[in-house]
Chain A
């Protein structure tokens, strides 16, 4: 088992919190009665709380919290991957919404809510891609 730096532990904590919230979110969001603003907002609040809690625990058990040039480079790579994911998904998500609207599968009254849920899903996926990219970068030659 390789030794993990504070930054790596922090990333694993982030991923754990993300998956703990995103997996149930994506399972339940497909049921029509769950597509509400309070459900989506609730998922975001739970995610923030889970992240803060895990980061606090990791910070408490890690003595050396130094961040160096390699950590900064890896962080930049992660954000780049996340940004590209957002770009790709925005195109795909907008096209999917447009297609569903054209086919009459979306109720115009709920359009804003659908847009909101798609936007949140895009951010969630981009966040996971960013974190996974960083975790992989720590184990690969740069």
Chain B
């Protein structure tokens, strides 16, 4: 199970933004946006920050780590 969850779909819906529009703004393919939204791919830190920047919210509002703190 993925440990990093995200709220991209909700944030996108609130702004009436399509997956393609988001993908274009952060230089990703639409397929990668779909994978991130479906928790099938954890983006790089840089991409995560860029996504948060597009929505104008803090990073932790977009991505939530659900691990148990084990190393």
Q: A141-B2, A142-B35 are in contact. Are A66 and B41 (CB under 8 A)?
A: no
- Min Cβ gap A138→B in Å is 7
- Distance in angstroms between the alpha carbons of A64 and B33 in the assembled complex: 14
List residues of chain A with CB within 8 A of the CB of B7. none
Q: A69-B47, A141-B2 are in contact. Are A3 and B31 (CB under 8 A)?
A: yes
Contact residues, A43-74 vs B (CB, 8 A): 64, 66-71
Summed over the interface, the residue pairs from A and B with CB atoms below 8 Å come to a total of 45
List residues of chain A with CB within 8 A of the CB of B32. 5, 68-71
- Decide if B35 touches A66 in the complex (CB within 8 Å): no
List residues of chain A with CB within 8 A of the CB of B44. 69
- Report which residue of A8, A70, A141 has the largest number of chain B beta carbons within 10 angstroms of its beta carbon: A70
Residue of B nearest to A138 (CB): B31
| Complex interface bits, B34-47 against A, C-beta within 8 A gives 1, otherwise 0 | 01000111111001
- Distance in angstroms between the alpha carbons of A8 and B35 in the assembled complex: 14
Chain A count of residues within 8 A CB distance of the other chain:
17
Tell me, yes or no, whether A30 is within 8 Å of chain B by CB: no
Q: A141-B2, A142-B35 are in contact. Are A66 and B29 (CB under 8 A)?
A: yes
Tell me, yes or no, whether B27 is within 8 Å of chain A by CB: yes
Tell me, yes or no, whether B17 is within 8 Å of chain A by CB: no
List residues of chain B with CB within 8 A of the CB of A66. 27-29
Tell me, yes or no, whether B30 is within 8 Å of chain A by CB: yes
Residue of A nearest to B31 (CB): A5
* A–B complex contacts, Cβ < 8 Å, 20 sampled: A3-B30, A5-B32, A6-B29, A8-B31, A64-B29, A64-B30, A66-B27, A66-B28, A69-B28, A69-B44, A70-B32, A70-B35, A70-B41, A70-B43, A138-B31, A140-B40, A141-B39, A141-B40, A142-B40, A142-B41
By a beta-carbon cutoff of 8 Å, the part of chain A in contact with chain B is 3-8, 64, 66-71, 138, 140-142
